[in-house]
Structure 1
């Protein structure tokens, strides 16, 4: 049975996440108290295989009950239930803006935490331990609904629980570093297609840009050294127990050089039998 436990900051997109999982065949439950998760898993396991993929959202809406999540996870481990934790994160300024736009009340806003800012700060402290335990962390600060759906589908459309998933993410430094990145490579030192009129409107997904970027010896050498480092570190991360490795490759705008490198790295890993996806965070930003 594939069990996904979704948690994270209020306003970070947990409802969207569980909707995506429901669309790809998961039996889903929202706002479940942690103490009920082991029982829910037990009931689903007794369905004679009819319910093989389940996902639950649990978060601080449960009030004091949420503090029992770690104990519930320990209980499931003792009972032999395998699970993955998906943690949704988001920048404070984006969360504040979302609450202003929706005019919804943050679950922790009360007489002690009168502002959304204070409530978010308190929530981060409450979630610190469970975030450190998460198998997957996704920062939704600048992800569109479609991008979030793509990320989650890549993680759970197939059961990747038996191996490491490498997320090769391209990004633009001018839009900020990806907070979930495990490794970051800066390819801004390489020749930039942006300054060529015929290449500027295209991206690293186009053959003309791809061929241009890799036509330079320094680019090919840089890519080779990245591959060597991934080959060396991937077994170390696997032995550590990581389920996902986010390799972020950045250029100025996240459209040309970084996209080319992310595509090449994911292709290289797939050819070696490693589950890898290419994810281009900022490729459409300047359209």
Structure 2
């Protein structure tokens, strides 16, 4: 009887050992699939990435890193509802994950679900952080609350803005007729965004149209071309600037540098 008990105990230990080993193996397979998925994602191959993520999800659907990556991949596909689904699953595991909160705040803003965006901000340890102020300012702008948007933008350091938000800030200041502040923002933002083409074109237009600083507008466009080589959109802006300045010959010379493809787009 005693020998039988010992045998049973040994058998149970062996079974537990093999069950444990099996779980470790399964978890490793899930982790390997996740790593393969991340590698594919970094290469921009999101379809392959999702195949690997799905394998990992079938093994361990509670892996917060996996859920965040799946949400990001669906976001890249433009499938916002699926991105929301996986990011919310991850948030249910850790509702103070700052990257998740930022992702969802941005996602809801882009989806036009502003109340949800503002609600998620409350999860943050620092809901008054510059990033959340920026999103709130952009929401106010979309809701046509220009004064509220302006007040929020004013609280944010210019280096914490991005190209899209700085251009909207320009527009708000123009609409509110705050010309002095707009000029100061132009000068303070230029060192941070001068290499960004969209920013530079708008910067040039404002200098010329709002402040009649045509020479300065010409200078920034030429500097961009010297540093980055010919660019059709910059050349077009420069050509139109010369035409406005009454320098038709220069305007024609610059216009001839624009590619035929861009000229075709202008005509049609």
* TM-score class, shorter: under 0.3
Instruction: Considering fraction of residues, name the structure with more strand.
Output: 1
What TM-score comes out, normalization by structure 2 length? 0.27
Larger Rg: 2
Q: Which has the higher contact order (CA 8 A, sep 6+)?
A: 1
Instruction: Considering fraction of residues, name the structure with more helix.
Output: 2
